Every structure is written in structure tokens, then in C-alpha cells.
Structure 1
Amino acid sequence: MKIHAAQLADLDQIMAIQMLCYYAIEPESRLSMASKIIASPDTCFVVKERDMVRGYLLAIPVMSGETPALDSEACDLAGGADCLYLHDLAVHPESRGLGVGCILVRQFMNIAHKKKFRHASLVSIQDSFRFWQKQGFEAIVPPEKLQSKLMTYGQDAVYMEKLLIGIPQE
């Protein structure tokens, strides 16, 4: 299995995996998923085995405390972003337990450090909170402006952040 930058050519397989993995939210549209890959191609990845996508991770630069609403059709990146937001990570059910998720998270963290982001963030859904805690993320009370967007992620959505060690704070 090898990790690659996500391409629009991978979108059919990404959409199929998304449909298999999400039950607590309505899967996002093709346009929404493509907008992340187009906006930030160097922070979106797939793990492939023999040209088959086994898992994907879509991330975009944002300001800490901000996220796009779920299924946003546009992905406008703010200049001066200080946070890499992990928008979506999913592993094909047949590939679970093979380390695909770990490969993706490791690449995400490597890119976040390489690009000198101060924070990494995500919205935990579908009982993934403990998994993300083990990865060093902590639940954060979301800023008021984020609360309405969080509601689009479902009732159990939790905004989480991780301070990235080794990044000088001003």
C-alpha cells in the first residue's frame, strides 16, 4: 500500500468509500469533496493498493476555530491559515485493521508540521472521539460562530484541536 496525493480521478472511489462508511450523516456531495482536493491538493491523500483506493484523507488550511459547514460546495481558503483542518478520513471496510488510517494520519501530521501550522483540528463524529484523543486531539468548546456549522455534522459532533509541538508561538 502506498500513499499518494488525492486526484480528481480518485473521486469515484472516494465517493464509494464515503457511502460505505458514514451512517450518522448524509454523505457529502461529489462537488463538496472535489472542492477540497482542488483547493488544497497538497493536503489531501489516498492510500492505494493496486490502483484501488483503500482510504482517503481530505484536509484544508483554515484559521483555528473555523471549519467549513458539512457538504460545502465551495472551499475558499483564507490567507494566513494557522491550522490544518482534517475534514474527512475514511477507510474502506475491507481494509480496516491494515494500518491504512495510521498511514493517513501520519501523513496529515507530517504535512501539518512541514507547513508549520500551529494547530491541527477536526470534527469528531460517529463515536470517533476516543480514537482522536489517542492521537493527541482535545475537545475544545467551539467559538460561537462555529456552533451552527457543527450542527451540520450531527448530534454527536465534537470540535477537537491539537497544538503542534515544535512550532514557535508568537
Structure 2
Amino acid sequence: MVSDAPFVRGMRADDLDAVLAIQLAYYGAGFVEDGALIARRLAAAPHTGWVAEHEGGVRAYLAGYPSVVGKLTPLHGEFEVAEQPDSLYLHDLAVDPDASGLGLGPLLVRHAWAHAAQAGWRHSTLVSVQSSVGFWLRQGYAATQPAGTGQQARLATYPGESAYMIRRLG
């Protein structure tokens, strides 16, 4: 029997096809990152990638990694897992448009925060893209300017409107 209640579990390599389909449907071609890159990211940070399942299928995903406040990942960049992290960097959250309105995005974000808190990380950071700032503000994040020209250059790799954002956990 398939449960009607959405649930979160760790992302696995066999989820890649579903993740890529959701990514394309959610973001459009300008933001699509290829399957090989996503697989490398999952291998680099296997405990900070999650999917939300509903009605027997993957309907949303969230990919992040242990990081330090102030460090951004450029679009199409590799995850640079910090040796001594103080934050969980959320690189990619996407919900299948057919599952919109089910609360899967916030469900995944809360799950990620719980993981980060358990690890002792005090912050969560991200780059907001495609007019998603309002969503992230509702989740308690605040926009801030990345420090240094190197991090500002990483932010500039995202087309259109983007913002570096941070949230204190706990």
C-alpha cells in the first residue's frame, strides 16, 4: 500500500533520473546541472542530500553539503566539503511542479535543519535564484553580501536575480 503522506529520505544514486527530471521541470534549461556532476556531489556529501517521496515517487529533492559561512558554490561547481564546517550550504531545492502546494520544499528544508543541528552546525546558507527570495525569507533566511571578490564572482555565475542568504539555526 502506498502512503498518501509525503516523507523524506536520503538521496541515492538511483534517484538521479527523477532528480534530473524535477530539475529540468522546475528550473528550465538555464540552470540544469548534469547528472555526472550531481552524482559527484552526492558522493562528496552523501549525508546531506534528500528526496521527498509522495504517492510512490520522488517529487522533490534538496542537495547540500557541510560548509563554512561565507563560502558559495558557483553554478555548475563541485561541492567543496569543509573539514570543519559551521553551516549547511543548501545548493539546490526543487519540487516537481505537479507536486506544488504539498509543502515538500519546507518539509525538506526543516529536515535539513534538523540534520545540521544534530551535527552542531550553527547556520544554513544558500544562493537564492529565480525570484525565490520570498520563499527563503519565509523560512527565516536573510540576504547578505558575500565577502571578498572571489565569493562575489561565484555569486555572479548564477544568471538573473540571485542573492546569498543565511539563517542562524537553533
The normalised TM-score by structure 1 is 0.91
Please tell me the residue identity of whatever aligns with 2:70. G
Give the CA deviation at 1:123.
0.4
Q: Which runs of 5+ in 1 are unaligned?
A: 166-170
Does 1:112 find its partner at 2:116? yes
Within 1, Cα distance between the matches of 2:30 and 2:85?
Answer: 27
CA contact (8 A) 1:3 1:45 kept: yes
Query: Does the residue aligned with 2:31 lie in a helix, a strand or coil?
Result: coil
Within 1, Cα distance between the matches of 2:19 and 2:158?
Answer: 19
Does 1:93 find its partner at 2:92? no
The normalised TM-score by structure 2 is 0.91
Please tell me the residue identity of whatever aligns with 2:44. A
Query: Does the residue aligned with 1:107 lie in a helix, a strand or coil?
Result: helix
CA contact (8 A) 2:127 2:163 kept: yes
CA contact (8 A) 2:53 2:60 kept: yes
Distance 1:32 1:49, change over 3 A: same
Does 1:37 find its partner at 2:5? no
Query: Aligned residues: percent identity?
Result: 37
Pick from 146, 151, 154: which aligns with 1:146? Answer: 151
Q: How big is each residue's C-alpha offset from its partner over 1:91-130, in whole Å with a ceiling of 9 and x where there is no partner?
A: 0000010111121011011111111112100100111101
Q: Which runs of 5+ in 2 are unaligned?
A: 1-5
4+ residue segments displaced more than 6 Å: none
Equivalence for 2:28: 23
Equivalence for 1:168: none
Equivalence for 2:160: 155
Over the residues paired in the alignment, what is the CA RMSD in angstroms? 1.4
CA contact (8 A) 1:139 1:158 kept: yes
